[in-house]
Structure 1
Amino acid sequence: MGIEMVLDMASSVNPDRLAVGRRGAGMTYRQLGDVAAGGAAVVAERGAAHLVFVGVNGPVLPALTFAAARAGIPLAPLNYRLATDQLRDLVTQLDRPIVVTDPAYRDKLDGVAETVLTSEEFLDLARAAEPAEQAPVQDDATAIVLFTSGTTSAPKGVLLRHQHLLSYLFNTVEFGSADEEHATLVSTPPYHVAGMGAVLSNVYAGRRMVHLPDFTPQNWLDLVREEGVTSAMVVPTMLARVVEHLDGAPADTPALGSLAYGGARMPQPVLERALSAFPTTGFVNAYGLTETSSTIAVLGPDDHREALSDPALRGRLASVGRVVPGMEAEIRDEDDTTVLAPGETGLLWVRGAQVSGEYMGKGSALDAGGWFPTRDRARIEDGYLYIGGRADDTIIRGGENIAPAEIEDVLVRHDDVRELAVVGVPDDEWGERICAVIVPVGTEHADAESIRTWCRERLRGSRTPDEVVFVDELPKTATGKLVRRDLVAQITEPAAG
């Protein structure tokens, strides 16, 4: 049993309901099933072992997802933003690929595989092909290969098997729970686990998917209003831009019942402004990793409302909520030998049927007990999980371990700070020194020394930034994750020169 059953179930229950696209011009579940069956034939007759997609999120992605599953091969969505050499290198790591690409990236991929088709060419062939029979699929066969974003090292191919993805769905989504008028706005890229999770979870729920390939705050708001979007997911940078665009005005999105966010740390001031701008919308913080087949913890709408209304609970807005059913979490010390008590900060380990933790060509990262090391610093307090950043991001200054997040959470409330990141930079005396890199609100801003003084009044002396640097923007991935290695290089290379 594979993920192809998700579409089979949806199309058997609601064959004429719109699955993908705008009202009046979309694709029904029956039509999506026909395209997937024809796409499986296109793939099978070319003898492919992997179906590669390079492009933005759109109607072709669900067709490719279920075509690959019907053909019994993995789908590998790749980051279209990569340089040509990087992109071609990832394709060559996959056995017998057939490549489907948006026209904008076609030139990057010429000759990289025996078959390279544009998205429209694939859909045309799929619609014209005789539907393929379902290929035998084992539960433990690989369904999707996702390459990690590589913010600290070279991308690694994570193998998500059918059993992992189905476990995630069965434990977190109710089949057929969406009504016919429900629609979700998908703006996360295909190569991100949230993009693939959106395909599976929305089809399983029977919800129409509307896509926004090119995000701007106004385009996002317009589409939510025009299509009566009832749910959406954004990354923190997107929500920050929407809130800034509204500039204190209400969002005026009456149909939007649920707004999920995740993928990176959400600055609490941004979240508080968003809650005011969308007063009738239920907010959901979803935390997960590629290796865990998407969400492993959720801070739900009730949690947000209670935290906003009760000052004693306000700190919960900084958490990622409670661990979802079917998952376990524990906090271990740095040596992975001791499970820490509630409230203590250490390294987060997770276990559950949806956890893969397996990398292409590198084997599994699970320990003997089936636990996966997330490499995130975290604590569990009153049942809520708080993420303190990546363990690799820890600054070691004079032998003291300092988590950038504890400084960032304070400094983000400074009136002159639009965005910031705290990083460690090499120092001959201390090993590393603390550098706060700030994107200011305007061209006129506080000087570096006054910001250091402001921090010193609110933090221990050892947490006060040794230096403050102002920049126009922070280097990030398309999903809003800070690329710290690029930031450190950006602020140290001029000094080295």
Structure 2
Amino acid sequence: MFLWRQYAASPLFQDKIALRTEQGEFFTWRQLAEKTEDYAAALQQQGVAQGEGIALCGKNSTDILLLYLAGIQCGARVLGVNPAFPTEKIARLCAENHIRFYFSSELKTLPNVTALSLPSADSNVVFIPIEDDWQRPATMTLTSGSSGLPKAVVHNVQAHSDNAQGVCRLMQFSAQDAWLLSLPLYHVSGQGIVWRWLSVGAELHLPTTDFYASLLQATHASLVPVQLQRLLDYLHQCAPNTFRTRHILLGGMHIPVALTQALAQFGIQSYCGYGMTEMASTVFAKQSNGSAGVGQPLPQREFKLVNGEIWLRGAGAALGYWKNNRIVPIMNDEQWFATKDRGEWRDDELVVLGRADNMFISGGENIQPEEIERVILACENVEQVFILPKEDEEYGQRPVAMIKFKDNFSESAVKNLTIWLNDKLEKFKQPVQYFPLNSENRQGNIKISRVQLKAELLDLLGK
């Protein structure tokens, strides 16, 4: 039996609050299970059968969450899609992944895909039960490749549940707590929140219109560094007398130590880690400290370094990639997942150096962009930065920065940063040019695409 149905049947949980919606409405576990079954019945009535693919294209909402659970209960493959994608790309993704149905509150039509409607209030359609199978393909999560369409990573319920348990133990997340659904469900980090909630029978909160006020009503949250900076600004400006938040999991990119130290002053413990879509989210994690590492593997995860590349297996491992209407295993011949991430074991923890395919060579020297980004992010006026290669006749390639300052982008901000970097980076690693990074039009993306940034850089350079 799936977890939401187990809690609905349990005298200890059935009348306990399970969900707070974006409108502030509360559902108990019994009400949530009943609502999910209504949505599952509506899906079945519209032709969604076991093994079918459905795409959920939208920002987090109660409807998207209920459709996610209902799709799994129907035995469908549920694919989350970023609503910011162009319609043509969404159509191609549906065709590539054999998706016949989709739900979107924004897209009116999608070629060759049937639009799904929500159950009506007076509907009396009854759900036709099927086996709650924890092993069958349940979710498809897009992960960006170096080029072309994103690949869909297929997980079953067992993998999501296994991944969640180690994070819950590390972050002391229990049935008495509440986690804010602060990251999109079409991303593996958003799904990780849902499965942690389900694993312990806690509360899940959807943000109301005031995101940071909502955050402070939850005991736990997952944030990327930009969100963390804005939370700190909110705490300083609004100075709330009381708030519930005690644990925050950070991810998405390098986490400046200054931010985690500032958070600790409010009595909030932060955690940093390392994970990926293929492993259903977090693999390594630790309480944040001054070191560059991501801690040790969580329970039931294994790793090894092979020629500097991180290999993984264990809890959360995907069934495979969806390709040509079948699942292609992610594991290599040695039954490990080769991540293409570079790392080293240092001071009894893993230090992630960066993507092997991001590295470039400048004047015979290896440049790892993530190393430079980590240093630049320590500057107090920097909010986001990405290092990219620029072709150079003499050196082959040189590093260029696309950067967002906390203040406006200006010549003086760039000059102050270059002075600050003089004694912190070798000369060949210091950016030779700076361009403004406009991240506002990328909302909903936890990770900004370096492929897209490289294309933008070529435009800026007039190439």
What range describes the TM-score normalised by the shorter chain of this pair? 0.7 to 0.9
Letter in 1 for 2:286: L
Within 5 A, what are the aligned runs for 1:453-472? Answer: 454-465=420-431, 467-471=432-436
Q: C-alpha offsets along residues 271-293 of structure 1, whole Å, 9 cap, x if unaligned?
A: 333333xx212212242111101
- SS of 1:128's equivalent in the other structure is coil
Change in CA separation of 1:379 and 1:30 when aligned onto 2, cut-off 3 Å: same
Contact 1:6 1:200 in 2 (8 A): no
Change in CA separation of 1:106 and 1:370 when aligned onto 2, cut-off 3 Å: same
Contact 2:181 2:193 in 1 (8 A): yes
Partner of 2:317: 355
Partner of 1:261: 250
Within 5 A, what are the aligned runs for 1:232-271? Answer: 232-246=221-235, 252-271=241-260
Structure with bigger helix share is 1
Contact 1:74 1:145 in 2 (8 A): yes
Within 5 A, what are the aligned runs for 1:7-46? Answer: 7-13=4-10, 14-21=13-20, 25-46=25-46
Contact 2:400 2:434 in 1 (8 A): yes
From 276, 290, 306, the counterpart of 1:289: 276
Partner of 2:53: 50
Q: Tell me the CA shift for residue 152 of structure 1.
A: 5.3
Write the distance in 2 (CA, Å) between the matches of 1:187 and 1:165: 18
Write the distance in 1 (CA, Å) between the matches of 2:437 and 2:374: 20
Q: C-alpha offsets along residues 168-223 of structure 1, whole Å, 9 cap, x if unaligned?
A: 2455547x97345x322112111001212222220221111111276xxxx22322
Partner of 1:130: 126
Q: C-alpha offsets along residues 226-260 of structure 1, whole Å, 9 cap, x if unaligned?
A: xx321111122211222344458856553112112
Write the distance in 2 (CA, Å) between the matches of 1:361 and 1:249: 50
Letter in 1 for 2:311: W
Q: C-alpha offsets along residues 313-351 of structure 1, whole Å, 9 cap, x if unaligned?
A: x22xx3222210000111221xxxxxxxxxxxx221111
From 345, 352, 356, the counterpart of 1:380: 345
Change in CA separation of 1:94 and 1:43 when aligned onto 2, cut-off 3 Å: farther
Contact 2:141 2:154 in 1 (8 A): yes
Within 5 A, what are the aligned runs for 1:43-442? Answer: 43-48=43-48, 49-95=52-98, 97-102=100-105, 105-107=106-108, 109-110=109-110, 112-117=112-117, 121-122=118-119, 124=121, 128-133=124-129, 135-136=130-131, 138-150=133-145, 153-173=148-168, 178-180=174-176, 182-212=177-207, 219-225=210-216, 228-246=217-235, 252-276=241-265, 279-300=266-287, 304=288, 307=289, 314-315=290-291, 318-333=292-307, 346-356=308-318, 358-361=320-323, 363-442=328-407
Letter in 1 for 2:190: G
Letter in 1 for 2:340: R
Q: Tell me the CA shift for residue 368 of structure 1.
A: 1.8
Letter in 2 for 1:295: T
Q: Aligned residues, how many? A: 450
Q: Tell me the CA shift for residue 372 of structure 1.
A: 0.7
Q: Tell me the CA shift for residue 454 of structure 1.
A: 4.0
Letter in 2 for 1:30: R
Write the distance in 2 (CA, Å) between the matches of 1:477 and 1:388: 26
Change in CA separation of 1:122 and 1:354 when aligned onto 2, cut-off 3 Å: same
Letter in 2 for 1:143: A
- SS of 2:5's equivalent in the other structure is helix
Contact 2:382 2:403 in 1 (8 A): yes
Contact 1:43 1:51 in 2 (8 A): no
Q: Tell me the CA shift for residue 472 of structure 1.
A: 5.1
Contact 2:279 2:316 in 1 (8 A): yes
279-288 vs 452-461, which moves further: 452-461
Write the distance in 1 (CA, Å) between the matches of 2:228 and 2:407: 19
Write the distance in 2 (CA, Å) between the matches of 1:28 and 1:223: 19
Write the distance in 2 (CA, Å) between the matches of 1:170 and 1:273: 28
Contact 1:236 1:263 in 2 (8 A): yes
Write the distance in 1 (CA, Å) between the matches of 2:24 and 2:361: 57
Write the distance in 2 (CA, Å) between the matches of 1:153 and 1:449: 37
Q: Tell me the CA shift for residue 448 of structure 1.
A: 5.1
Q: Tell me the CA shift for residue 482 of structure 1.
A: 2.8
Write the distance in 1 (CA, Å) between the matches of 2:58 and 2:424: 46
Contact 1:16 1:30 in 2 (8 A): yes
Contact 1:179 1:206 in 2 (8 A): yes
- SS of 1:496's equivalent in the other structure is coil
Contact 2:43 2:71 in 1 (8 A): yes
Letter in 2 for 1:355: A
Write the distance in 2 (CA, Å) between the matches of 1:379 and 1:434: 23
Change in CA separation of 1:419 and 1:293 when aligned onto 2, cut-off 3 Å: closer
Contact 2:38 2:119 in 1 (8 A): no
Letter in 2 for 1:220: F
Which 5+ residue runs of structure 1 have no aligned equivalent? 308-313, 334-345
Identity in percent: 23
Write the distance in 2 (CA, Å) between the matches of 1:186 and 1:384: 29
Change in CA separation of 1:287 and 1:253 when aligned onto 2, cut-off 3 Å: farther
Change in CA separation of 1:32 and 1:440 when aligned onto 2, cut-off 3 Å: closer
